[in-house]
Structure 1
């Protein structure tokens, strides 16, 4: 009974963290950066958004690593990860997680470098494709999570 409760708690924390993380990336890519491009945001507030996004992304990465590690360790063997469709979904999720983290880190770094020169439109224009790619990767993560949650078990 304790393992079921722990696994349920870990799954809930994992899914909620992933949803908030992906939602924040999609919000920045779809709302914040376009607002900055049309002149609605200055450098200082945009830098604050970028900093909060990356700190949230780092925190989410840690939570996702810990909760996902627990779930993978309690539900999968190496053999299942390597040789089953569900295992491949878990491995794909891990790869997408790394890519999302990297895209947010690189995008924020490049954006803030330009913002510190008190430029807005140039750095936003230069980095918006990174953030768009991060948003797409995030959506793919959620699709992957949905497939895993559906109980699909193709081998």
Structure 2
């Protein structure tokens, strides 16, 4: 039982950290870069690198803790044929999409920054970062539905 508590706590902390980081970069940092608020690529390269690290670490922790929770709470019948199980599967799909979007967006952004440009790579990567932010919010909404026990109300 303690293992489930620890897995849920780690899952929640890393999901919030990941979603918040992606949202901040998508709606604050990259728009500022696009609008010319930075004079150097150095801080943007650092931020992009930190986001990639947070994303990869969170993705791994969420995979491990989520796998443990799924194994502890669900069997194949409840995972595929119950509302809660389908919400868990939706979270897995959103997790994969978010991981891919952040990876592609940071690579696109960093490759432009390596050319010592700021505005153009920010403009090119912004739609991907914003899509990632929307997916991260969707993940938190699904997590809230699971945590709040939405299956009891349906």
Q: Could you tell me the TM-score, scaled by structure 1's length?
A: 0.95
Q: Distance in 1 between matches of 2:104 and 2:45?
A: 14
- Select which of 11, 18, 28 maps to 2:8: 11
Offset of residue 81 of structure 1 = 1.0
- Select which of 146, 149, 152 maps to 1:148: 146
Structure 1 residues not aligned, in runs of 5+: none
Q: Distance in 2 between matches of 1:60 and 1:117?
A: 29
Q: Distance in 2 between matches of 1:35 and 1:51?
A: 17
Cα RMSD (Å): 1.1
| Correspondence for 1:81 | 79
1:25 aligns with 2:5: no
- Ranges of 4+ aligned residues in structure 1 off by more than 4 Å: none
| Correspondence for 1:105 | 103
| Correspondence for 2:112 | 114
Structure 2 residues not aligned, in runs of 5+: none
Q: Distance in 2 between matches of 1:78 and 1:118?
A: 51
